[in-house]
Structure 1
Amino acid sequence: MTQPPIPPAFILVRPQMGENIGAAARAMLNFGLDRMRIVDPRDGWPNPKANAMASGAGRVLDAAGIFPDVPRAVADCDYVFATTARPRELVKPVVTPERALQMTREMGAAGKRVGILFGPERAGLENDDVALANAIITVPVNPDFPSLNLGQCALLVAYEWGRQQSDVAPEVMALARTDFASREEVEKLGDHFEERLEAAGFFFPPTKAAGMRLNLRNMWARLNLTRAEVQTFHGMLRQIAYKLRQGGE
């Protein structure tokens, strides 16, 4: 039986605000991650503000490892990513979050441990921190405003982890207690519309009537109508016809 990949450790380097640590924990748990490491937090540890912000993700903080420096925080990692938006004078592969988490999953499946470094809020990771990483994760943000909040950055990376292991379709139609209409039901609706339009003299001139009918049929097929919507259209047409017979407008 195939073992699930080892999830990455999110390593918060010298975080300054407890609220941001809590936000990162919340983002992690949203997508099934719970391995947090904290390096030299400015306001010490534990931090009541972090717990308040984490809300239901407090268990991530409870299990977090506290380290005095980055080398010790990454000591057991086989591969390390550093998140940064700033160009660095260091020779490193630069990857998107999507590619980074794909690599993380592949390495995790092989039993390798991956760490992801997130820098402090004020200026991000220092070059000495980035030098310890194997590769850099950069998000394609606005170059005129590239700064991401710590919690936002953690959310982007955690989302990629969750997205890549999910079987959720990229698009679904939420059907509120109804079903899509069958082709026959749509055809009957088309017949009803054409009947009313014919009576109103819509198909004019006669030489264009066939093309007009074809366009209408194509439109109905393209709309993906539900049964409830088809019945609504039938009701509308019946009410309009009734009012016209009664001399209404």
Structure 2
Amino acid sequence: MAGTDTSKEFIFRPTPAIILVEPQLGENIGAAARAMANFGLWDLRLVNPRDGWPNERALAAAAKATHVIERVQVFDTLAEAVTDLTLVLATTARNREMYKPVIGPDVAAERLSAHIGAGEKAGILFGRERWGLTNEEVAISDAIVTLPVEPAFASLNIAQAVLVLAYEWRRVALAGMPLPIAEDLGEPAPRDQLIGLVEQLGEALDRAGFFKTPDKRPGMMDNMHAMFAKAGFNAQEVRTLRGVVAALDRRHERANPARTQKKD
């Protein structure tokens, strides 16, 4: 979905750290960075990336999320990557048979938001592309986050998983914030414009022979007035409709010159 506004400045709010453990492909790191940037996250930590760092493929895949890529921190071990965090959540789609809370992304976002809102730091662990996190890595977390995926096809690309958690984080942490684009309903049509539209339509229908019997016309006109009033058109929409009615009326007159002459 295109729509990045380069005139807007990125706001570095307190957010969860995204920790990728031994990521293998630079493209996935870049795509994860892009997903983070989409929803306002910026603290990306890499644990022993296979191809080292920096990575040109990651930069290309980040699609201008350079403010995330430029702040990437690289660690040799997971323990080093989480040392400053007081809440750590581990993502996995497999049953680890551990006595740990298992929560969904919505609950995870609520916990993260409350924790960071209290001035603490938190992070989310994501495992390797091929087999995810080890049991030892999951064991150091405070809870397991799993997504409501189809059990028969539960594996997600890292960037997809990051995107879901980042979205849930923003939805909860910035609840009530307006959407990036505002709804434009236009200037409400004045009542006299609506009345004029219906009267113009009625006259055009008269010329087209729509009202088969004169006694039906008042009731049908009342219904049309009610219909157009209920529609809630703005001023531009009414002007457009009046133009449409006029064009159709002119077309009808050109197709039936005898009837026009008879009226004159």
TM-score after normalising by structure 2: 0.77
**Which range moves more in the overlay, 133-142 or 102-111?**
133-142
Is 1:125 matched up with 2:127? no
Unaligned runs of 5+ in 2: 1-11, 258-264
Q: Report 1 or 2 for greater relative contact order, CA contacts < 8 Å, sequence distance ≥ 6.
A: 1
Query: CA 1:127 to 1:198, structure 2 compared with 1: closer, same or farther past 3 Å?
Result: farther
Contact (CA 8 Å) 1:5, 1:109: kept in 2 or not? Answer: no
Closer/same/farther in 2, CA of residues 224 and 99 from structure 1, 3 Å limit: farther
Contact 1:5 1:106 in 2 (8 A): no
Q: Does 1:182 align with 2:197?
A: no
- 1:140 matched to 2:138: no
Question: Secondary structure at the residue paired with 1:26?
Answer: helix
- Give the deviation of 1:84 after TM superposition: 1.9
Equivalent in the alignment of 2:6:
none
Q: CA deviation at 1:111?
A: 1.0
1:243 aligned to which of 230, 246, 251:
251
* TM-aligned CA deviation for residue 212 of structure 1: 5.4
* 1:89 to 2:112 alignment: no
Tell me the SS of whatever aligns to 1:75: coil
Indicate which of 156, 161, 177 corresponds to 2:164: 156
Aligned to 2:108: 100
- Point out where structure 1 has 5 or more consecutive residues left out of the alignment: none
Query: Equivalents in 1 of 2:54, 2:254: separation in Å?
Result: 77
Q: Give a deviation string over 1:114-154, Cα, whole Å, max 9, x none.
A: 11011111122222222222222222223332221111221
- Are residues 1:47 and 2:25 paired? no
Aligned to 1:15: 23
Q: Per-residue CA shift, 1:48-74, capped at 9, x if unaligned? A: 222232242234233222222223322
Amino acid at match of 1:167: M
Greater shift in the superposed pair: 70-79 or 115-124 = 70-79
Give yes or no for the alignment of 1:60 onto 2:68: yes
RMSD across aligned positions (CA) = 3.1
How many residues align? The count is 244
Q: How far did residue 231 of structure 1 move?
A: 1.3
Q: CA deviation at 1:97?
A: 2.4
Q: Give, in whole Å, the separation in 1 of the partners of 2:114 and 2:13.
A: 7
What letter corresponds to residue 178 of structure 2 in structure 1?
V
What is the aligned partner in structure 1 of residue 177 from structure 2?
167
User: Does the 8 Å contact 1:16/1:43 carry over to 2?
Assistant: yes
User: In 1, are the aligned partners of 2:13 and 2:40 still within 8 Å (CA)?
Assistant: no
The SS at the match of 1:179 is coil
Bigger CA drift: 148-157 or 159-168?
159-168
Mean alpha-carbon deviation: is it higher for 79-88 or for 222-231? Answer: 222-231
**Quick one: structure 1 residues 224 and 53, their matched pair in 2 at CA, closer, same or farther if it must change by over 3 Å?**
same
